[in-house]
Amino acid sequence: MKYMNEYRDPILAKQYLEEIKKTVTQNWRIMEVCGGQTHSLVKNGIIDMLPKEITMVHGPGCPVCVTPLHLIDKAVHLALNENVILCSFGDMLRVPGSEKSLLEAKAEGGDVRILYSPLEAVKIAEENPEKDVVFFAVGFETTAPANALSVIHAHRKGLKNYSILASHVLVPPAIENVMEDPDSHIDGFLAAGHVCTIMGNFEYYPLVEKYKVPIVVTGFEPLDVLQGILMVVRQLEVNKAEVENQYARIVREEGNIEAQKVIFEVFEITDRLWRGMEIIPMSGYQVKEKYASFDATKKYQIDIEEAEENQECIAGEIMKGIKKPFECPQFGKKCKPTNPLGAPMVSSEGACAAYFHYSGLVER
Amino acid sequence: MQLQCPMPKLDFDVITIGHGSGGVLTNKLLDSGVFDLLSNPILDERHDGAFIEMNGKLAFSTDSFLVSPIFFPGGNIGELAVNGTVNDLSMCGAIPKYLSLSFIIEEGLKMKEFWEILTSIKFACEKARVQVVTGDTKVVEKGKGDKIFINTSGIGQVHPKANISAKNIKIGDKIIISGNIASHGMAIMSVREGLEFDSQILSDTTNLNHTIINLIEKFGNGIHLVTDPTRGGVATVLKELALSSGIGIELKQNDLPIDNQVYSACELLGLDPLYVANEGLFLSFVDASVADDFLKTLKQDENGINAKIIGEVVEEHPKQVIIESAIGGKRVVSMLPGEQLPRIC
């Protein structure tokens, strides 16, 4: 298929691998920020094909995984409100809250609907004026424009029964957080191509400057990832630390200006708690005061206690690249996709799920 | 092609709870044409059960059908219910003969829709050369069902040359898929509320009995197993077999036949086509010595035009299904914890 099979070509893949082998002379730890890239690495068997000098470290770029527990509990609480239709991306449904997941709330009679676009939720709000429609707006910068646009549309249509439960997180502060952690030891990054499609590359220049690490904006197909790795290794081997763009067929230096305008019409930057990690300053979006009536956290007074994370889950260490999924004592034992202790085991972008599904580490 | 039988004039448009009461309304519903449409001497007796005469080794199977929406690109729940059981019998190496047909209808179903479903049941039965010989209709209150659920059970005569069992699978067997994967699941997905997308993807629902029986006639013992990868897709069926029979299976990603539109839709939604449901598709484990000939014969059948050898049974890694990725890397194929859910971005 056009624009897909070209990036899954076995001959070119072999050439990239040979080039990486020729270039590398010492051990490097490279973090792919995005969970989509983690899955591409594991699903295509790339990790085992790379030379032993290169360790791929899986980063925090799984929006489902970093959505705070109390927000999932809020979503579950709303889903069980019989006046509410809770709409969500499919990926969120299996993520465990402190008591139950959205999938379980649905089974208990909650009106939970899986959507692919938040604009669909606006349509549902129009069609169901007697109900309140809440969209669980999670994601990195990639999904922020569509989520913001849904608020703008609802505002224009004068809808009083639409709001979003926003949990947006941002990549550059996460990279900074990883670099500040003395246990992470990351030599270079593959930045998330889709995020940069929206935001451009300029946010990454201060980071390469400050931490002296190469950052290569990279796509998701096997050849994208291999080329991204090669570009990082080439920089590392000659002691360079620059921003490069592997995903130039999609990502423009300035990003998508129109999408950025939409984001900042609705959202403003705020501190955000990352599940399993900590509060990272200026690392997320919240709905601006101007659109407060579309902000589910303000619209509904949800008094639920902040629950404690399951102490056996080491999601934070996994997402910072300090530990690999199989180094968790509960991996494949107490923690499985059917009975997850944490979100990385159930998200389609979670590192634990990738290892569970695609590597031969557990007898299933 | 949409085949139609004109609906008779009725004094009701909508099925209500009374139509399942067993009284006058039930008879009205059944006399409205249900019996005429599916008429055959056994059914026409209208007794509590059907009298049938069969000899020799028989196969028996049952399946319940719930699909939302009930009308989807390429078919509807009616033909799905016939083809599903017909195909399960075919996978036993049997010639399907008789079906039972039970409806659980949610009140409010439009008679026009029910008629369309019945008509497609009639044509599916004719195509598969099976007869509905007994049945049942119940109506549940609004909100207690999802328009209509159908159960069919079927009985068939096992072909004397058929010797089909997972126990017959041996190392070196070739694994052959009869056509493009993931079409049915993606056709349903394309019309599911909230996830709709424009495409010409059609469900592959069809009866496979004539195809399978032809192959059995020709290859007999050379066919070790046939199985249809419906719910859970190709991956789930193969992994189940690997686990239950203790065999190792190797597949190649690039050998999996898939329609371009289906492939794109899967990529867009983040779904792995290996796990997407199929309806008119079957996997065969055949002796390596007849594999090429088998493939050639299958490709001449209308249900096997896109057939392909996708893998083989190996001695290494018992109980594991290993797939070679498009770029040559290897990974295991496991079972999914539940339904595949579309991803965020």
DSSP secondary structure of A274-321:
PTTS-EEEEEEEEE-GGGGGGBHHHHS------PPPPTT--HHHHHTT
Whole-angstrom distance, CA of residue B173 vs CA of residue B170 = 6
Is A39 an 8 Å CB contact of chain B? no
CB-nearest partner of A46 from B317, B329, B344 = B329
Q: What residues have CB less than 8 Å from A17, skipping those under 6 apart?
A: A49, A50, A226
Question: What does chain A come to in residues?
Answer: 364
The CATH number assigned to the domain holding A273 equals 3.40.50.11740
Does one domain contain both A203 and A184?
yes
Q: Assess whether pLDDT exceeds 90 at residue B125.
A: yes
Residues of B in Cβ contact (< 8 Å) with A140: 345
Q: How confident is the model at residue B158 (pLDDT cuts 50, 70, 90)?
A: very high
Does one domain contain both A134 and A268?
yes
CB-nearest partner of B329 from A45, A138, A363 = A45
ipTM, 2 decimals? 0.84
> What average pLDDT does chain A have?
94
Instruction: Let me know if residue A35 belongs to a domain.
Output: yes
Q: Assess whether pLDDT exceeds 80 at residue A171.
A: yes
Find the closest chain A residue to B332 by CA distance: A358
Domain with A336, as residue range(s), is 318-358
Does one domain contain both A47 and A70?
no
Does one domain contain both A293 and A323?
no
Is A167 an 8 Å CB contact of chain B? no
Is A363 an 8 Å CB contact of chain B? yes
Smallest Cα distance from A313 to chain B, Å: 19
Return the residue matching tokens 């109506």: B139
pLDDT top residue among B173 and A362: B173
Does one domain contain both A344 and A206?
no
Smallest Cα distance from B340 to chain A, Å: 9
Find the closest chain A residue to B317 by CA distance: A360
Residues of B in Cβ contact (< 8 Å) with A93: 341
Q: How confident is the model at residue A364 (pLDDT cuts 50, 70, 90)?
A: very low
Cross-chain Cβ contact A1/B260 below 8 Å: yes
pTM: 0.89
Q: Would you put residue A333 in left (φ > 0), alpha (ψ -120 to 50) or beta?
A: alpha
Contact between residue B278 and residue B184 where contact means Cβ atoms under 8 Å apart: yes
pLDDT at B155: 98
Does one domain contain both A140 and A177?
no
Cross-chain Cβ contact B328/A64 below 8 Å: no
Of the candidates B44, B51, B65, the one whose C-alpha atom is nearest the C-alpha of residue B124 is: B65
Find the closest chain A residue to B190 by CA distance: A116
Does one domain contain both A179 and A226?
yes
Region B294-313: mean pLDDT is: 98
Does one domain contain both A41 and A120?
no
Q: What is the pLDDT of residues A218-273, one digit of tens each?
A: 999 999 999 999 999 999 999 999 999 999 999 999 999 999 999 999 999 999 99
Residues of B in Cβ contact (< 8 Å) with A14: 327-328
Does one domain contain both A282 and A327?
no
Does one domain contain both A75 and A45?
no
Report the alpha-carbon angle B302-B305-B311, nearest 5: 130
Token couple for B16: 């209500």
Catalogue all structural domains in chain B, each as residue range(s) with its CATH number: 17-158 (3.30.1330.10), 166-333 (3.90.650.10)
Max Cα distance, chain B (Å): 66
Return the residue matching tokens 């199977």: B61
Region B25-29: mean pLDDT is: 84
CB-nearest partner of A1 from B264, B341, B345 = B264
Mutation for testing the B interface, residue in A95, A124, A358, A359 having most B CBs under 10 Å: A358
pLDDT at A1: 58
Cross-chain Cβ contact A14/B328 below 8 Å: yes
Residues of A in Cβ contact (< 8 Å) with B336: 337
Strand spans (E) along chain B: 58-65, 71-72, 75-76, 94-106, 131-140, 148-158, 174-177, 223-227, 248-252, 283-286, 308-314, 321-324, 330-333
Cross-chain Cβ contact A346/B337 below 8 Å: yes
User: Taking the alpha carbons of A88, A90, A92, A96 in that order, is the dihedral positive or negative?
Assistant: positive
Mutation for testing the B interface, residue in A65, A93, A116, A339 having most B CBs under 10 Å: A116
For residue A157, CA distances in Å to A126, A150, A160, A259 come to 9, 11, 9, 20
Instruction: Let me know if residue A363 belongs to a domain.
Output: no
Instruction: Let me know if residue A313 belongs to a domain.
Output: no
> What average pLDDT does chain B have?
94
Find the closest chain B residue to A34 by CA distance: B345
Whole-angstrom distance, CA of residue A13 vs CA of residue A46 = 9
Residues of B in Cβ contact (< 8 Å) with A223: 327
Cross-chain Cβ contact A8/B327 below 8 Å: yes
Lowest mean pLDDT among B104-108, B189-193, B283-287, B304-308: B189-193
